Structure 1
């Protein structure tokens, strides 16, 4: 894993270096919200977990979009809902909400509440859409198509296999429409076998 800020030098150490760069960027910007975006299997969840563990002071709340997508066709909808219901409400000083998705039942699950005043990390495909109107730090995580497909399919023990192509089409539409990588404050490249 290597990381770098646009126009800056890339770090060569693994995840710890990427986390250090992200934390430095957050401190410099005074950011209380971080969005971690990138394609499936690129390493977003791993980076988010490491960032939560390393965050100084109050532990950030972590919202994983995997818990929010309303089914296999819900990539864009999740970003829009999280932006309006969670991120923008918190920015106004109100309690934000987000709805979980019950993947086993194929329906909306519980409603979660998030109070303003502490850091928030939103991680998942489409995270930049979920923070598009708010000042924060945008982290783009990428890996080669071969590495990320292998990692994504292995992670979900076969549950993702029938939906890979459907998800990839949504992902490509999101990328074509929004060019999210261009918004990144920090870019992280995950290396691996077959990269």
Structure 2
């Protein structure tokens, strides 16, 4: 689980949009106890992580990659209820939350990780803006890009592992996003690439 933001600062022309997003988060009341939670959702390879990293750095926020909680290549739809129940509900109550990572190498449940309530939390990943999570969100950001661009980015990042699963994962994303109406529910919609 990544609890700090990484990566370079965005170029000057992109800073205006980041400033707007940071201001939007800071101007809204937290919806998860005392924690303001931002979800950065969208299909794989769309640019979510870069955006989430920059927001987390600007907000001095904890960042959680929700794909680390998905129970395997066929388990995308199982993740949102776990995030709501095991992570966000305890944080909203001011309690330490405990979640179990998925061990992608051995394809089995991995270590448990504790997360304390804080001022800001950024959720990065597919499914982070699902209906069951939305009551806890301060801001939902949808990020998308053309499919060819997304696939190229995903393969450059995780090609050896992701290549055989791209179609399986993409089908789950489409089904989840259609059922959840995530894009329509987003407070902010961005397109990259």
Normalised TM-score (structure 1): 0.85
Where does structure 2 lack aligned partners over 5 or more consecutive residues? 1-11, 31-35
Runs of 4+ in 1 over 6 A off after TM superposition: none
Q: Which residue of 2 aligns with 1:46?
A: 50
Equivalent position SS for 2:100: strand
Does the alignment pair 1:146 with 2:148? yes
Q: Which residue of 2 aligns with 1:7?
A: none
Q: Which residue of 2 aligns with 1:132?
A: 134
Q: Kindly provide the CA deviation profile for residues 98-141 of structure 1, in whole angstroms up to 9, marking residues without a partner as x.
A: 11111111111111111113311111000012622224110111
Superposition deviation, residue 14 in structure 1: 4.9
- 2:39–2:137 Cα contact (<8 Å) kept: no
Normalised TM-score (structure 2): 0.86
Q: Which residue of 2 aligns with 1:73?
A: 74
- 1:38–1:141 Cα contact (<8 Å) kept: yes
- 1:61–1:120 Cα contact (<8 Å) kept: yes
Q: Kindly provide the CA deviation profile for residues 46-69 of structure 1, in whole angstroms up to 9, marking residues without a partner as x.
A: 1111112212xxx21111012111
- 2:41–2:142 Cα contact (<8 Å) kept: yes
Q: Kindly provide the CA deviation profile for residues 32-83 of structure 1, in whole angstroms up to 9, marking residues without a partner as x.
A: 110110000000001111112212xxx2111101211111011111111011
Where does structure 1 lack aligned partners over 5 or more consecutive residues? 1-12
- 1:18–1:188 Cα contact (<8 Å) kept: no
Does the alignment pair 1:82 with 2:83? yes
In 1, the alpha carbon distance for the partners of 2:13 and 2:109 equals: 37
CA distance 1:104–1:94, shift in 2 (3 Å): same
Aligned length: 177
Superposition deviation, residue 146 in structure 1: 0.9
CA distance 1:36–1:14, shift in 2 (3 Å): farther
Query: Which of 17, 28, 33 is matched with 2:37 structurally?
Result: 33
